[in-house]
């Protein structure tokens, strides 16, 4: 489970409250957000691994978000964490990354895209 207050996002994993923060490199955020189209669970785990500020797995990110996410899943499963808990915590981390990617693309994260735009007839 995760919590978000004004300036701090945390998740609970392994019975510990873990603060999340943004990776230093934008391209890591972009890689992970794009990877979600292929394997959301691994992308969420990759986001979690990159955003953890305490108890972060000692796994090097080598430019492949899906491979990294798989290693993060294995790391936590080996410690007794259920895959569903990893995914749940990873969603909070993923949302941080997605917000950064959207912001860099000039898209307002609060924008509502649920309705079709009005057609303009010339």
Predicted confidence (pLDDT) per residue in 27-41, tens digit = 888 899 899 999 999
Residue range of the domain that includes 74: 21-104
Determine the Cα angle at 42 with ends 52 and 1, to 5°: 50
> Is the model's pLDDT at 57 over the cut of 80?
yes
- The reply to whether 95 falls in a domain is yes
* Whether residue 6 has pLDDT greater than 60: no
Q: Is residue 26 part of a domain?
A: yes
Residue 13 forms part of a structural domain: no
In a domain, 2, yes or no: no
Is 62 contained in some domain? yes
- Asked if residue 70 has pLDDT above 80, the reply is yes
Position 121 in a domain: no
Model confidence band, residue 68 (pLDDT cutoffs 50, 70, 90): very high
6 assigned to some structural domain: no
State the average pLDDT for the chain.
Answer: 83
How much is the pLDDT for 67?
Answer: 97
Nearest to residue 70, comparing CAs of 99, 90, 97?
90
CA distance 65 to 29: 9
Number of compact structural domains in the chain: 1
Asked if residue 66 belongs to a domain, the reply is: yes
Residue corresponding to tokens 């305490």 = 54
pLDDT at position 98 is 85
The CA radius of gyration of the chain, in Å to the nearest whole number, is 16
CA distances from 31 to 58, 78, 117, 121 (A): 19, 25, 29, 38
């Amino acid at each position: 489970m995760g919590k978000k207050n004004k300036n701090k996002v945390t998740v609970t994993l392994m019975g510990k409250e873990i603060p999340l923060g943004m990776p230093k490199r934008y391209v890591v955020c972009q890689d992970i957000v794009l990877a979600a189209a292929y394997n959301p669970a691994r992308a969420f785990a990759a986001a979690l691994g990159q955003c953890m500020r305490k108890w972060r797995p000692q796994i090097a990110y080598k430019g492949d978000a899906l491979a990294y996410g798989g290693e993060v899943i294995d790391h936590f499963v080996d410690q007794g964490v259920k895959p569903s808990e990893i995914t749940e915590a990873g969603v909070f981390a993923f949302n941080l990354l997605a917000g950064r990617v959207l912001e860099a693309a000039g898209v307002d994260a609060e924008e509502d895209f649920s309705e079709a735009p009005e057609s303009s007839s010339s």
